[in-house]
Amino acid sequence: MLDKLEFMLAETFISLRRNTWMTFAAVTTSAMALFIIGAIAFAYISLAKFAGDVEKKFEMRVFVKESATEDDVKNLELRLNGMDGVSSVTFKTRKEVWDEFKKNNPSVTQGLEIENPMPDTFTLKFENLGKADAIAELIKKMPEVAPNDGVNYLSDEQNFVGHAMSALRWLGGVLGTVMLLTGGILIYNTIRLTILARRKEIRIMEMVGSTKAMVWAPMIMEGIVQGLIGGLLATVVLGAVYAFTLRLITIINPLSQNSPFPLGLTIFWLSFVGALYGLICSFIAIREPKKKEIPR
Amino acid sequence: MSEPKPFITFERVEVAYNDLVSGLRNVSLNISEGEFVFLCGQTGSGKSTLLKVLSKQVPVTKGRVIVAGRDLGTVTDKEVPYLRRQMGIIPQDFGLLSTKKVWENVAYAMRAVGKSRREVRSEVPRILERVNILHRADAYPSELSGGEQQRVAIARALINDPPLLLADEPTGNLDPGHSKEILDLLVSLNEKGTTVLVATHDMLSIQDHHKRMIQMSFGQIESDVSVEGVVQEIPHEEPEPEEEMQEQTQEESTDAGQA
């Protein structure tokens, strides 16, 4: 068994060496495809995590108009609590808000002798961020709410995250598919070239009674090795790009918290996907000559 | 005393490459174990097709072929490699790997059928010795004469120690001296018990060896001359009217092709 495996591996590496440039092209294209898919997956996961964090922290502030009475405030609180999609409503008087602001921003308020400019404020949290825009519109129309800037929330940030995720999905899908197709065609072509280059060996093997597995397995293994090397190469490039990006972020924001590059997981997934892809492409490539007799 | 069971039997075998071109037409013959048979005829007479039918490189359209008691029609695709290990195939063009030395060419074939390194190490010299090429074991095919290259091809055909050797024009690329050398080698292997079938159009070389000779023409057996020199003319059965029409078309197309 080990003897057979050794023979097949030797045949695989002879083929890889024989078609050096074609192998190089197939490996680098597969690596590029896997790198793009990997990078976009990374960006997408990071963005999804960021979006999750934003969602958790997401708050809407509703400022009560200056002329509102105590009854108006109670009435507003009841109506806000009854709104669909709102998970919690907390109230702070204008004094509490001002005290908190002064505590958080002493450099701004120190020595400032002005009248409290803060309004009574409700803080809303949501069960579903998707409804935030609709709720904001409803609240703005309520008479107890301050006109103009009565509702304050991070709608722009939320929209940006949503758009970025959607763009990444498209970009990943299109670029990844194009690159995967190119890599696949190159692997397919390499295997076809191998079959052509090895037609004499294949003929001899068939003549002396080699099993189909013995004849064709080296070509399948060649595809797998190409995909595997592509996956490993993509991991190296991805790791380097990740490290570089991290350095840039640290320079811009020294206090930013970043998670380390998940090396093991990336190696596993990119190699696995690469090898699987190589297997599929080489299998398709050998199917045709297997159906027909090799021209003698 | 009853006659021994034939080793190879062709029963009314037909091979059609397409509607108009036939490889074999209604071929019936028996070959005994240990026999040496020359298949003669011009190019396109069907002798190579007959050998290819035996190694299942070409499927039979009609009829039955039995080798060592096994109907080849029942041999599945998976069994074909094991069937081929029961026969050594010697091609006209030698089919040697130019980047490998003589011993490596034989070793490669052995490794390809799953033999271990140890088996290869012990058996390669023995096989090369059998065909008298051991002294050139470290030479590359390009450094060998045509006869020597054909010896290597014969050595490769012997790796499974097969009871049957199929040689397709083994002297086709050789001068008369080397042709005789190769045929003598095949005869010597036959004398040790191997059944040998040689397809050739080299009538000169055949005459020196008094062996059974099957003459073929247009996919049919024309005559079968035994070792003793007894000529058996093969009567061609009258085809059915429908078949007659088809055969006429085939002949016309062949004639047209030759013209």
3-state secondary structure chain B: CCCCCCCEEEEEEEEECCCCCEEEEEEEEEECCCCEEEEECCCCCCHHHHHHHHCCCCCCCEEEEEECCEEHHHCCHHHHHHHHCCEEEECCCCCCCCCCCHHHHHHHHHHHCCCCHHHHHHHHHHHHHHCCCHHHCCCCHHHCCHHHHHHHHHHHHCCCCCCEEEEECCCCCCCHHHHHHHHHHHHHHHHCCCEEEEEECCHHHHHHCCCEEEEEECCEEEEEECCCCCEEECCCCCCCHHHHHHHHHHHHHHHHHHC
- A7 to B111: CB separation less than 8 angstroms, yes or no: yes
Return the SS3 of A155: helix
Note the ipTM here.
0.81
**Nearest-by-CA chain B residue for A206:** B81
- B156 to A209: CB separation less than 8 angstroms, yes or no: no
> pLDDT digits over B85-103, tens only?
999 999 888 899 999 999 9
For residue B195, the model assigns a pLDDT of 94
CA angle A169/A171/A177 to nearest 5° reads 100
Residue A210 contacts residue B113 (beta carbons within 8 Å): yes
CB contacts, 8 Å: B55 with chain A: 207
Nearest residue, CB atoms, A208 vs list B78, B97, B109: B109
Spatial separation of the C-alpha atoms in residues B215 and B197, rounded to whole Å: 13
Residue B174 contacts residue B92 (beta carbons within 8 Å): no
> pLDDT digits over B193-205, tens only?
999 999 998 887 7
pLDDT in tens, chain A (296 residues): 778 888 888 888 888 887 788 788 888 888 888 888 888 888 778 777 776 676 666 778 899 988 888 888 888 898 888 888 888 899 999 889 888 888 877 777 777 777 888 889 998 887 766 777 788 888 888 888 888 788 887 666 666 776 777 787 788 778 778 877 887 888 888 888 878 888 889 999 999 999 998 899 988 998 899 889 999 999 999 999 988 888 888 888 776 667 778 888 889 999 998 899 889 988 888 886 655 543 33
- Looking at residue A71, its amino acid is D
- B97 to A205: CB separation less than 8 angstroms, yes or no: no
For residue B103, the model assigns a pLDDT of 95
Nearest residue, CB atoms, B95 vs list A7, A203, A211: A203
Terminal C-alpha separation, chain B: 52
For residue A21, the model assigns a pLDDT of 82
Per-residue confidence band for B234, with pLDDT thresholds at 50, 70 and 90: low
- The widest CA-to-CA distance across chain B, in whole angstroms, is 61
- A209 to B95: CB separation less than 8 angstroms, yes or no: no
- B83 to A209: CB separation less than 8 angstroms, yes or no: yes
**Nearest-by-CA chain B residue for A290:** B77
- A210 to B57: CB separation less than 8 angstroms, yes or no: no
B115 against B177, higher pLDDT: B115
B138 against A152, higher pLDDT: B138
A217 Cβ contact list (under 8 Å, min separation 6): A8
For residue B35, the model assigns a pLDDT of 93
pTM: 0.69
Return the SS3 of A259: coil
DSSP assignment letter at A131 = G
- The domains located in chain A, with CATH, are 2-54+159-288 (no CATH), 59-153 (3.30.70.3040)
For residue B80, the model assigns a pLDDT of 93
Residue A123: enclosing H or E segment and its boundaries? strand A121-126
Per-residue confidence band for B247, with pLDDT thresholds at 50, 70 and 90: very low
**Nearest-by-CA chain A residue for B98:** A200
For residue B199, the model assigns a pLDDT of 94
CB contacts, 8 Å: B123 with chain A: none
Taking the CA atoms of residue B219, residue B191, residue B208 and residue A207 in that order, the dihedral angle to the nearest 10 degrees is: 40
A198 against B141, higher pLDDT: B141
Residues of B with CB under 8 A from a CB of A: 55, 57, 77-78, 81-85, 89, 91, 95, 97, 108-109, 111-117, 156-157, 159-160
- A209 to B57: CB separation less than 8 angstroms, yes or no: no
Residue B221 has pLDDT above 80, yes or no: yes
- On the 0-12 / 13-18 / 19+ scale of CB atoms within 10 A, B47 is buried
> pLDDT digits over B21-74, tens only?
888 999 999 999 999 999 999 888 999 999 999 999 999 999 999 999 899 999
- A204 to B156: CB separation less than 8 angstroms, yes or no: yes
Nearest CA of chain B to the CA of A48: how many Å?
52
Nearest residue, CB atoms, B117 vs list A3, A200, A211: A3
Nearest CA of chain B to the CA of A210: how many Å?
5
Residue A286 contacts residue A219 (beta carbons within 8 Å): yes
For residue B129, the model assigns a pLDDT of 92
- A3 to B89: CB separation less than 8 angstroms, yes or no: no
- A204 to B112: CB separation less than 8 angstroms, yes or no: yes
Residue B122 has pLDDT above 50, yes or no: yes
> How far from B43 is each of A4, A45, B48, B168, B216, CA to CA, in Å?
40, 69, 9, 12, 10
- A210 to B97: CB separation less than 8 angstroms, yes or no: no
Rg (CA), chain B: 19
For residue A56, the model assigns a pLDDT of 66
Spatial separation of the C-alpha atoms in residues A35 and A237, rounded to whole Å: 7
Residue B102 contacts residue B144 (beta carbons within 8 Å): yes
Residues of A with CB under 8 A from a CB of B: 3-4, 7, 200-201, 203-212, 214-215, 293
